[in-house]
Amino acid sequence: MAQKTHDLVVKVGEYQTRDGQTKARYENIGALMHGDKGPFIMLKRTFNPAGVPNDGRDNILISAFEPRDNQQQGQQQSNQQSGGYGGGGTGSAPGRPDFDDDVPF
């Protein structure tokens, strides 16, 4: 049985917090998995690397983060709803990208 070892994310933009700090906005694009025959990558079917800002480079940076447990996700969501990490829309806790943004339509 395959086990997820890392979340794969790309930086898709930036936003300003209420106190004027610039923060990165991330999108979860898939997962690094480990199966019976070794590691493999599962990407979102809708992920298009051409849409990722690249500052004129020919490549993009994909970061890998260890998955968060459910308790950490619940705490971050409640902090975001109460304005704890500010910025409106999707944001991120210090040092951690926001993997749980919901599309409002």
Q: What are phi and psi of 90, to 5 degrees?
A: -85, 145
| pLDDT tens digits, 38-87 | 999 999 999 999 889 888 888 999 999 998 875 455 444 444 443 333 33
Q: What are phi and psi of 53, to 5 degrees?
A: -55, 140
- pLDDT for the residue 71: 46
63 membership: H or E segment, kind and range: strand 63-65
- pLDDT for the residue 56: 85
